[in-house]
Amino acid sequence: MTGQVIDGKAFAADVRAQIAEHVVRLKEENGITPGLAVILVGEDPASEVYVAAKHKQTLEVGMASFEHKLPADVSEKDLFDLIDQLNADPSVHGILCQFPVPDHLEERRVVARIDPSKDVDGLSVVNAGLLASGEKGLVSCTPLGCLMLLRDQLGNMSGKEAVVIGRSNLFGKPMGQLLLQENCTVTIAHSRTADLPEVCRRADILVAAVGRAEMVKADWVKPGATVIDVGITRIPHPEKPGKSKLLGDVAYVEVAAVADAITPVPGGVGPMTIACLLANTLTACCRAHNLDEPSGLTA
Ligand SMILES: Nc1nc2c(c(=O)[nH]1)N[C@@H](CN(C=O)c1ccc(C(=O)N[C@@H](CCC(=O)O)C(=O)O)cc1)CN2
């Protein structure tokens, strides 16, 4: 038996098409163009690729894209001045600072400076608190993308055992909250969890976000489980010199033989991150103008 492959790339393209349709209507009926501002500090090569992809996809769905590239040694004051300017700009509905930032800046302080209603990464304490209280805010993009894939795959998740490996603010904690909202019984496992394989074997839904390549083995997975792999580790390609290869947190081939459904890496969760960023920007724009929000694109 081989589990069904959950095609995040195709799903993300579908989400972007829905967003593009909504953006056309916003422009025609209300004369409004949603705008997304992305701040990149320094020259981290992976971040440059992600920011370029965000810019391209923002334009493709018909939104306005504002890119701000700052030198690696930018002061906190200069970065905050830019954020304040974007907070006050009515043509900007979403703001994010690409992570990681250089060591002299603190991600927590950067996020806190962004107006929560424009925090399309959903990382501010305000948005994290709204999610934890079951209230309407903006939800972190990668967990929101996983939720969309899971809803599509499983429909009703009520009563299912869900295990999330990883407890970061960016992913593990919001993912746990979202699964709780779906009435799952949720365990957030982490590096100090005793007997992690045994905890994982309980899961009907297993979400791995640890950043350790192929850590989750087939004998950690309950037969018939749905497995979501959030990890992305780049390694030198074993057969193609000079090329690289991406690995997830899950040993894909062996786990696919046990699971009912599984996301691949690449082409699973990754593409959903940017699609959900655009969804959050559209949501933020509709809220800013007191217009109906797009359905199916929020938690
Ligand atoms: N402010 C933020 N910083 C970072 C976030 C974030 O959500 N907000 N997440 C990651 C990077 N990221 C988006 O920013 C991101 C990661 C991966 C992908 C993706 O499509 N991955 C592809 C593979 C791409 C490749 O070849 O490298 C896949 O998995 O198929 C998109 C966006 C950290 N920083």
Q: What is the mean pLDDT of residues 165-186?
A: 97
Angular region, 177: left φ>0, alpha ψ -120 to 50, beta rest: alpha
In the block, tokens 């992570």 appear at: 99
Atom of ligand 1 nearest to the CA of 142: 7
Binding-site members for NADP(+) are 166-168, 232
Tokens (6 digits) for 169: 């603010």
57 is known as an active-site residue: no
User: In angstroms, what is the span from residue 164 Cα to ligand 1's centroid?
Assistant: 19
Comparing CA positions, the residue from 160, 186, 159, 189 lying closest to residue 260 is 160
Sign of CA dihedral 37, 39, 44, 47: negative
User: In angstroms, what is the span from residue 1 Cα to ligand 1's centroid?
Assistant: 31
| CA–CA dist 73, 10 (Å, integer) | 39
For residue 40, list its beta bridge partners: 69
Tell whether the model's pLDDT for residue 1 goes beyond 70. no
Task: Report whether residue 273 contacts ligand 1, using a CB cutoff of 6 Å.
Answer: yes
pLDDT band at 2 (very low <50, low <70, confident <90, very high): confident
pLDDT (tens digit per residue) in 225-283: 999 999 999 999 999 999 999 999 999 999 999 999 999 999 999 999 999 999 999 99
Task: Report whether residue 272 contacts ligand 1, using a CB cutoff of 6 Å.
Answer: no
Tell whether the model's pLDDT for residue 212 goes beyond 90. yes
Closest residue by Cα to atom 34, ligand 1, is: 99
In the block, tokens 């699609």 appear at: 275
pTM (predicted TM-score) = 0.98
Residue 67 belongs to what H/E stretch?
Answer: strand 64-70
For residue 247, list its beta bridge partners: 233
Strand locations in the chain (E): 4-5, 35-41, 64-70, 94-97, 161-165, 185-189, 205-208, 226-229, 233-236, 244-247, 261-262
Residue of 273, 277, 280 with the most ligand 1 atoms within 8 Å of its CB, for mutation: 273
Tell whether the model's pLDDT for residue 161 goes beyond 70. yes
**Ordered structural domains, the chain, with CATH:** 28-136 (3.40.50.10860), 141-271 (3.40.50.720)
pLDDT (tens digit per residue) in 100-137: 999 999 999 999 999 999 999 999 999 999 999 999 99
User: In angstroms, what is the span from residue 62 Cα to ligand 1's centroid?
Assistant: 21
Tell whether the model's pLDDT for residue 74 goes beyond 70. yes
> In b/e form, how buried is each residue of 98-109, taking b as 16+ CB within 10 angstroms?
bbebeeebeeee
Point out the catalytic residue in the list 54, 118, 160, 173: 54
User: What DSSP character marks residue 33?
Assistant: -
Closest residue by Cα to atom 22, ligand 1, is: 270
Tokens (6 digits) for 24: 């056309």
| CA–CA dist 126, 181 (Å, integer) | 18
